[in-house]
Amino acid sequence: MARVCYVCKKGPATGNNVSHAHNKTRRRWLPNLQTFKIVDEDGNRRRVRVCTRCISAGKVTKAPAVVAT
């Protein structure tokens, strides 16, 4: 599964590690993704990866818990 937010499409950012000697090596900053159960547009329960910024902003709502009978 890709490291991309389901809501805002935020993905990894790239850049350089820079040492004191100014040596540069490539690195990646990964978004803080959490696995989240939602109800999609069709009414189906889905498990998706959502960044914590979208969760705290209220852009997604949790799916109600299913009660086993």
Q: Model confidence over 34-48: pLDDT tens digits?
A: 999 998 888 889 999
How would you classify the pairing of strands 33-39 and 13-18?
unpaired
| pTM value > 0.85 | no
Q: Which residues contact 34 (CB under 8 A, 6 or more apart)?
A: 49, 50, 51, 52, 55
N-to-C CA span, the chain: 32
For the chain, what is the mean pLDDT? 92
Pair 24, 18: CB distance under 8 Å? yes
Q: So what's the pLDDT on residue 58? A: 93
Q: So what's the pLDDT on residue 1? A: 61
Domain edges within the chain: 13-57
Pair 22, 52: CB distance under 8 Å? no
Q: Using 50, 70 and 90 to split pLDDT, how confident is the model at 57?
A: very high
Asked whether residue 66 carries a pLDDT value surpassing 90, the answer given is: no
